[in-house]
Amino acid sequence: MYELIRSALQRPLTVVVAMLAILFFAFAAVRDIAVDIFPSMDVPAIYVAEPYGGLSPEQLDGFMANQFQNNFLFVSGVKKIETKSIQGLTLIKLSFYPGTDMAQAAAEVATQVSRATAFMPTGTLPPQVVRFDASSLPVGQLVLESDKSSLTQLQDLAASRIRPMFTTIPGVTSTAPFGGNIRTIVVKADPAKLRGYQLTPDDVVKAIVSSNQPSAAGNVKMGDVAYMAPVNSLIEHPADFLDVPLRTGAGPGVYLRDVATVEDAADVTTGY
């Protein structure tokens, strides 16, 4: 250390020139270096999320995750497949080797997803396929709270009013709101009454579905004018569900009000 200080004191001009050279090249580097708040990051990973309400993690692993894994083995460049199942949801992560064409990989994953869903249980919805990259990381959170509104009302407000405001901002992707309860028409059937009328919960579900679905409108032509004649096949008010017929024909009719109650409430909160 002392030798270095002694050498610098003996050659002051050399030290000054070296310092000026360092400052010059540092200024040139700062001026020309590329700066990006969100640099391009090619993270070779794709997530597949498959929801199915009512199934246990073991059932999701056996009926869905296992089938997805078998099909994803045919995707080019797959390095590792990881699965995680919780009640009502299975999540699959596909990791790829560096240098893999992720656009082609995403297309192959979508193709294999379509093939795998053909072997899924009845009522399976198409899964959500998300390619993970730096732009999908959250940069902020907006929290809503109220002393007067319920969680269901806040959820509707966030989904229908606030979220669309963010989608108009260039380069911003607004995620779905979470933490609230989604408005749901809850039908609570009495098991004893169902047994008394020799009905099953599936009979109730089929009756509600068949009595509340959109139907194509027809036309009634009167003279030179063709009037639209819509079919009143959708239930407008929650209380009208009570009038859904469960059994018709010979004998007394059985309606939903005879075996169940209907509430304009929310789904069961399982976690945030």
Dist CA 59 CA 50 (whole Å): 13
* Helix, strand, coil % in the chain, rounded to nearest 5: 40, 20, 40
Give the pLDDT band of residue 193 (cuts 50, 70, 90). very high
Q: Are strands 260-266 and 183-189 parallel, antiparallel or unpaired?
A: antiparallel
> Residue 30, class by beta-carbon neighbours within 10 Å (0-12 exposed, 13-18 middle, 19+ buried)?
exposed
Mean pLDDT of 61-84: 90
Q: How many helices (H) and strands (E) does the chain have?
A: 10, 10
Answer yes or no: is 111 within a domain: yes
**Could you read off the pLDDT of 91-111 as tens digits, one per residue?**
999 999 988 888 899 899 999
Q: Which of 181, 210, 239 marks a domain boundary?
A: 181
- 192 and 251 co-located in one domain: yes
CATH code, 113: 3.30.70.1430
**Could you read off the pLDDT of 212-237 as tens digits, one per residue?**
877 777 788 888 888 887 777 788 88
Answer yes or no: is 272 within a domain: no
- 172 and 99 co-located in one domain: no
pLDDT > 70 fraction of the chain, expressed in percent and rounded: 90
As for how many domains the chain has, the answer is 3
Contacts of 232 (CB under 8 A, 6+ apart): none
Q: Which of 135, 167, 194 marks a domain boundary?
A: 135
What value does the mean pLDDT of the chain take? 82
- 61 and 102 co-located in one domain: yes
Answer yes or no: is 204 within a domain: yes
Answer yes or no: is 199 within a domain: yes
Give the pLDDT band of residue 272 (cuts 50, 70, 90). very low
Answer yes or no: is 30 within a domain: no
Q: Which domain holds residue 232?
A: 183-266
Residue carrying the six token digits 């995620």:
175
Q: How far separated are the first and last CA of the chain, in Å rounded?
A: 59
- 176 and 188 co-located in one domain: no
- 91 and 156 co-located in one domain: no
Mean pLDDT of 8-22: 81
CATH code, 223: 3.30.2090.10
Answer yes or no: is 69 within a domain: yes
CA dihedral 156, 158, 159, 165 (to 10 degrees): 140
Answer yes or no: is 10 within a domain: no
